[in-house]
Structure 1
Amino acid sequence: MKKKILIHSVLICFASYGQEYSFIPDSLKLLPIQELVKKEPPADFEPVYYENGTKASFKDVLPLIMEQKLMPQMFVAENGEYKALVVKSLLKNEDIRIVYDNIPESLEKQGYSYGNPDSDTIIINIMGGPENYLTTYGFEARYSITGGIDENNYFLINMRESQTLQPEETEKEEISWEQATNYNEKTTQTLFELISFFKSQKKKVYVVGGSYGSFVALNSLFKHKNIADKYLLFVGRLDMTEEVSEAYSKGFKAKFESDGITPQIGEKSDNIYTVNMRKIASAISRDEKYTELLKDIDLSNLIYIYIENDQSVGKLTQHEIEFLESKNAEVISVKGEHGNWIEHLKMGLQLLSDK
């Protein structure tokens, strides 16, 4: 079990760096993370260092790796033998930025980027959740390992949801419905501004969103029209079931039975953060019927992948499916669970490049 947790954590903490430590011999090479996840270091492995060169023990750093607070970097000999492990702190929120020449200051802090800035294709990812933190190296893992992306061919951005800028605001006290709505409006505006900027740079722009991220993309399509080159959306809804969205608006637990149709409403969470994230999720779906709002929008550049009996957001109704098909979107049904939609990312990205 520990090994499975470590492998998952390593994937989330993915990064690719060259040799940058004076205390690591130049003869050692950084092992690609894809190889490290295949073979866990032994419990008594040494030496282990923090990034400043201070020695540590594997048993002490392992819990922090699993909590995604430290990123493991294994250095190996020419024959592949493990020789030294360096654990690196993940980026602080205030350090996150989009590294791209001439990007406006107002947009620089609106995401985390990696890949090739000179590529002619930009991928803007919108996280699920919602959450009040922005994934950095985990975003790289998702696309480079699970999605099979060659970072030399794309410039990828994990876009901020607006509540990630001041995460403490959604942890201290319950937010109002107006605040939840404002968070969504700012997030949708950020997506519009990022697309607009990169289009002005003569780039192709692909938008990818899963779960809550798909709602943000739909909201942008409604408010700012179809301005990206292509959209790839996963496991969302166009017309959210009112009973579920209403429960979320009050901070209540809500999901669907195994049929993906019948709502299950639970109790209100006693965790302020959970209540606030549910409110934000509801505020972008409760009063929005996207089959009506998007009726005049061309969706022929949209790929929509949904889980057949999704217990988190519910299955797409026949009306929703027929609407997407009538707008010339490509609609794909897959099996599985809502949280496992990432397993279909590689397929979706391939379809995106072919469409």
Structure 2
Amino acid sequence: MKKTTLILSILMCFAVQGQEYTFIPESLSLLPMQELLKKEPPADFEPVYYEDGTTVAFKDVLPLIMEQKLMPRMFVDENGEYKALVVKSLLKNQDIKIVYENIPESLINSGYSFGNPNSDTVIINIDGGPENDLRTYRFELKYSITGEIDEKNYFLINMRESQTLHPEETEKEEISWEQAKIYNEKTTKTLFELISYFKSQKKKVYVVGGSYGSLVGLKSIVEYNNIADRYLLMVGRLDMTKEVSEAYSKGFEANFESDAITPIIGEKSDNIYTVNMRKIAAAINRDEKYTELLKDTDLSNLIYIYIENDQRVGKLTENEVNFLESKNAKVISVKGKHDNWSAHLKMGLELLLDK
């Protein structure tokens, strides 16, 4: 097994804070993902356990790690020596939770957390998409590796979008326009409740949203006021181009020409899930003109990054840019493709956290 293959497999997995296995000595600690990437275990490494404590040969679980069906969790001694490996199945929907002492029952399953719960800074992430699953491994990878966040210094939460709670609902039949709006209302309320709770815990709360997630961030400010300490919103729109939002509201494909201004309207998807995700995306921007809804709101705690040649959502218009600047937001234009927006996450986080 080549080293590079194993590293790529581990990259697509994630580490979890805490020591929770009775068969692992308390003297051992969980190795952060960044450290595990630096040195792979030897082919004959032992002991290797499943989560229930059953031992297994490393060679038998290695193919499953490569296929991303198992994630490796390496435990080390005080000198950083590898002492035990636990392989864990990727989280199921019902296993996703925020691990924070005394968090209200209503919020436990509203996201996935990692990092330091004792940190005075909480970062709440809202995924793009929308999608009907919460990809926890991608969240940790994005922040730990791409964003270069030190998990010892922050408590990070990947917030659930409401459709992820019952993903089967958006896979069986086409949802109505009203249902699409309700999904967004519930998602926005969850963000408000998380911000409010951690503010009550005397934490600094930063909100990060990309693409669809940036729209959730804007809608939360409209619906529940500007209550987070700071916001980093990326590659979305304030006033979506009408032809695109209307097409999405009906499940049609819609993009932009290379000028990132001229709409391209395609056909309606024959995939129910795709149609429903497009409807949810449209329901948060078709009838919402955020330059109007936020006209009386100071946005000096907002960093907004947009891609000037974004063919997915279009580039910000001169009116959108002028509006943000008039509200004291920091506006940054970058080049690239919409799907690669996380490449700018490190820069955005440095600005957000004043690093």
The aligned runs of 1:252-267 (5 Å cut-off) are 252-267=252-267
Answer whether contact 1:51 1:86 (CA < 8 A) is retained. Answer: yes
Answer whether contact 1:114 1:151 (CA < 8 A) is retained. Answer: yes
Task: Give the whole-Å Cα distance in 1 for the aligned partners of 2:233 and 2:282.
Answer: 18
- Once the two structures are overlaid, the 10-residue window that deviates more, 95-104 or 213-222, is 95-104
Answer whether contact 2:17 2:114 (CA < 8 A) is retained. Answer: no
Q: What's the secondary structure of 2:206's corresponding residue?
A: strand
Residue in 2 that maps onto 1:99: 99
Residue in 1 that maps onto 2:171: 171
The aligned runs of 1:264-279 (5 Å cut-off) are 264-279=264-279
| 1:288-311 deviations in Å (ceiling 9; x for gaps) | 111111111110000001111011
CA RMSD of aligned residues (A): 3.0
- Once the two structures are overlaid, the 10-residue window that deviates more, 162-171 or 50-59, is 50-59
The aligned runs of 1:58-137 (5 Å cut-off) are 58=59, 62=63, 64-65=64-65, 68-73=68-73, 86-137=86-137
Task: Give the whole-Å Cα distance in 1 for the aligned partners of 2:180 and 2:3.
Answer: 39
Q: What's the secondary structure of 2:353's corresponding residue?
A: helix
Q: What's the secondary structure of 1:102's corresponding residue?
A: coil
Q: Is the alpha carbon distance of 1:76 and 1:123 closer, same or farther for their aligned partners in structure 2, counting shifts above 3 Å?
A: closer
- Once the two structures are overlaid, the 10-residue window that deviates more, 324-333 or 27-36, is 27-36
Runs of 5+ in structure 1 lacking a partner? none
Answer whether contact 2:71 2:89 (CA < 8 A) is retained. Answer: yes
Task: Give the whole-Å Cα distance in 2 for the aligned partners of 1:110 and 1:177.
Answer: 24
The aligned runs of 1:246-325 (5 Å cut-off) are 246-325=246-325
Aligned-pair identity (%)? 78
- Once the two structures are overlaid, the 10-residue window that deviates more, 219-228 or 147-156, is 147-156
Answer whether contact 1:16 1:33 (CA < 8 A) is retained. Answer: no
The aligned runs of 1:147-166 (5 Å cut-off) are 147-166=147-166
TM-score after normalising by structure 1: 0.87
Q: Is the alpha carbon distance of 1:57 and 1:257 closer, same or farther for their aligned partners in structure 2, counting shifts above 3 Å?
A: farther
Task: Give the whole-Å Cα distance in 2 for the aligned partners of 1:331 and 1:226.
Answer: 17
Task: Give the whole-Å Cα distance in 1 for the aligned partners of 2:109 and 2:255.
Answer: 34
In structure 2, what residue type is equivalent to 1:160? R
Aligned length: 352
Q: What's the secondary structure of 2:101's corresponding residue?
A: coil
Task: Give the whole-Å Cα distance in 1 for the aligned partners of 2:186 and 2:100.
Answer: 22
Q: What's the secondary structure of 1:179's corresponding residue?
A: helix
Shift of 1:140: 2.0
Task: Give the whole-Å Cα distance in 2 for the aligned partners of 1:235 and 1:302.
Answer: 14
Q: What's the secondary structure of 1:349's corresponding residue?
A: helix
- Once the two structures are overlaid, the 10-residue window that deviates more, 168-177 or 98-107, is 98-107
| 1:267-316 deviations in Å (ceiling 9; x for gaps) | 22222111111111111011111111111111000000111101111111
Answer whether contact 1:124 1:157 (CA < 8 A) is retained. Answer: yes
Q: Is the alpha carbon distance of 1:309 and 1:8 closer, same or farther for their aligned partners in structure 2, counting shifts above 3 Å?
A: farther
Q: Is the alpha carbon distance of 1:98 and 1:83 closer, same or farther for their aligned partners in structure 2, counting shifts above 3 Å?
A: closer
Q: What's the secondary structure of 1:333's corresponding residue?
A: strand
Q: What's the secondary structure of 2:281's corresponding residue?
A: helix
Shift of 1:107: 1.4
Task: Give the whole-Å Cα distance in 1 for the aligned partners of 2:167 and 2:329.
Answer: 35
In structure 1, what residue type is equivalent to 2:350? Q
Answer whether contact 1:132 1:167 (CA < 8 A) is retained. Answer: yes
| 1:204-231 deviations in Å (ceiling 9; x for gaps) | 1111101100000000111111111100
Residue in 2 that maps onto 1:329: 329
- Once the two structures are overlaid, the 10-residue window that deviates more, 90-99 or 80-89, is 80-89
Residue in 2 that maps onto 1:55: 56
Residue in 1 that maps onto 2:14: 14
Task: Give the whole-Å Cα distance in 2 for the aligned partners of 1:54 and 1:37.
Answer: 23
